[in-house]
């Protein structure tokens, strides 16, 4: 929370640059991303969405909507399809559903991650449930402003590990 808007924007640009330079995105058809919660100083995924749409127009972007205790995903069309939910998060109110099996990459929200790919989220389990539905080859990438902690001691068997995490300094592969 102590990061300035400028620090978040600078790191978010680095995340996008590292994503583009370190992963073969020309073969990717669908990337799922969370939409940033500004109140929590999350990475600016709008910068990533706009960058992907500009540099890789063939990639479809998928965004989540919380429905019950799970995420339902929609292809992102434009900001007009969004409204703010009870938690202050933008989510789609209409659009074409994204079949989970079509998703090649998931950009996963996190508060922290460890050296083995465990992550701490917001504790509701939405992404763990969603990631279990993704096909085995789907990349699960987190963005973190900070380097990994040694170990997340309360990781559970239902927690789904990241395949990669990107920080402003480097990319971690698990």
**DSSP secondary structure letters along 73-119:** EEE---GGGEEE-TTS-EEESSSPBPPGGG--EEEE--SEEBTTS-E
Instruction: Bin 47: left if φ > 0, else alpha if -120 < ψ < 50, else beta.
Output: alpha
Domain carrying residue 87:
5-173
CATH of the domain at 43: 3.40.50.10420
- Of the candidates 62, 82, 81, 84, the one whose C-alpha atom is nearest the C-alpha of residue 73 is 62
* Inter-residue contact 109 to 121 (CB < 8 Å): yes
Q: Is the pTM of this model over 0.85?
A: yes
- Of the candidates 27, 79, 35, 80, the one whose C-alpha atom is nearest the C-alpha of residue 58 is 27
- Residue 35 pLDDT more than 90? yes
What's the pLDDT band for 155 if we cut at 50, 70, 90? confident
For the residues 139-148, what does the mean pLDDT come to? Answer: 97
Number of folded domains that form the chain: 1
Structure confidence by residue, pLDDT tens digits, 49-84: 999 999 999 999 999 999 999 999 999 999 999 999
Instruction: Look at strands 119-120 and 82-84 and give their pairing.
Output: unpaired
Looking up tokens 């500009």, which residue turns up? 54
Instruction: Look at strands 119-120 and 90-92 and give their pairing.
Output: unpaired
121/92: higher pLDDT: 92
Distance CA 6, CA 70 (A): 33
For the residues 126-146, what does the mean pLDDT come to? Answer: 96
* Inter-residue contact 95 to 77 (CB < 8 Å): yes
């Amino acid at each position: 929370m102590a990061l300035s808007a400028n620090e978040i924007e600078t790191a978010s640009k680095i995340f996008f640059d590292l994503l583009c330079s370190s992963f073969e995105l020309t073969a990717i058809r669908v990337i799922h991303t969370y939409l940033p919660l500004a109140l929590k100083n999350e990475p600016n995924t709008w910068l990533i969405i706009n960058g992907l749409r500009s540099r890789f127009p063939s990639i479809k972007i998928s965004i989540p909507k919380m429905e019950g205790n799970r995420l339902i995903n929609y292809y992102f069309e434009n900001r007009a399809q969004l409204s703010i939910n009870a938690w202050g998060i933008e989510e789609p109110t209409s659009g074409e559903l994204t079949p989970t099996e079509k998703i090649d990459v998931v950009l996963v929200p996190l508060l922290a991650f460890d050296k083995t790919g465990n992550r701490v989220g917001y504790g509701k389990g939405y992404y763990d449930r969603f990631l279990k539905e993704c096909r085995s080859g789907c990349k699960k990438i987190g963005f973190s402003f900070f380097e990994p902690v040694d170990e997340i001691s309360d990781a559970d068997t239902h927690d789904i590990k990241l395949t990669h995490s990107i920080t402003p300094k480097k990319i971690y592969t698990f």
